[in-house]
Amino acid sequence: MKTPSRHQQPSHSETQPGTVWLIGAGPGDPELLTLKALRIISQADIVLYDSLISDDILAMLPKRCVRLHTGKRCGAHSMGQPDINKALHTAAQKYRCVVRLKGGDPFLFGHGGEELEYLQQRHIPVQIIPGITAALGCAAAAHIPLTHRQYGNALMLHSGHSQYGDFAASHSPTRVFYMGLRQAGQITGHLLNEGITEDTPVALIVNGTLPDQRVLKGVLMDLPHLAQRCLHDSKGPGLIIVGEVAAMAQVNAGMNGDIDSLEGLIANAASSAVA
């Protein structure tokens, strides 16, 4: 009897749920997709994609995969966010590799955080693949440096509309500090003077995305101590994140999944080419 392929296997609800991959597709140019995004997309059993995904990127989806258009273009949503959340959960019960494909980056104004929380609460494995957000991609295309030592040492990313459609002033903004571990005490004092409360969540990430990634988290008053721990234990670059979302950090969470490795895919492709 022929063994069924993974695309013919029974529902994961009978065994264990599949993995949902929240993938950033970048600003539109398919050559700006990351290698990791391409690798996982090539293995997708089902892809739930937004209207902002370009036709060139859609053409790269596996012919065998199920496609579900979720809409999400500003002012023209074909599916509401609660329905998308439920669809992701349902898909994970049936398929091994579920791809949620979003324009830009899934965690920058892309509702990726809401989908992550919804799935985690239901014990669905979730992996994140960041994408080049529109601010970076479009600015680069126009030759605009978003930071410059002589003109601007900080960057604000702001949504032009709230969940109700109107513009709303920022509230509880997330602050990210590059190259600030040795200045953590000064940063803490500055934020306290700005009125940021001492119990505001913080996260420190050293060697982010690498195999030796380390994640520490606490509250603002812990920041100098946490930074000293990072400096003592690690030699790589560090990033400081301050804001309510920092509480969501998974300590020592990596970006690896159990889908076939890039090396394996390359080996298979090479074998096919020889054959």
Active site residues: 50, 72
Q: How far apart are CA 72 and CA 236, in angstroms?
A: 38
DSSP-assigned letters across all residues of 115-161: HHHHHHHTT--EEEE----HHHHHHHHTT--S-BTTTBS------SS
Residue 142: is it exposed, middle or buried by C-beta count within 10 angstroms (0-12/13-18/19+)? Answer: exposed
Q: How far apart are CA 60 and CA 63, in angstroms?
A: 9
Closest CA to 44 of 95, 83, 86: 95
Rg (CA), the chain: 21
Return the C-alpha torsion angle 161, 130, 103, 259, nearest 10.
Answer: -140
H helices within the chain, ranges in order?
35-41, 55-58, 81-94, 112-121, 134-141, 184-194, 223-233, 262-274
Residue 226: is it exposed, middle or buried by C-beta count within 10 angstroms (0-12/13-18/19+)? Answer: buried
Non-local (6+) Cβ contacts of 103 within 8 A are 24, 25, 26, 27, 28, 50, 52, 53, 110, 131, 134
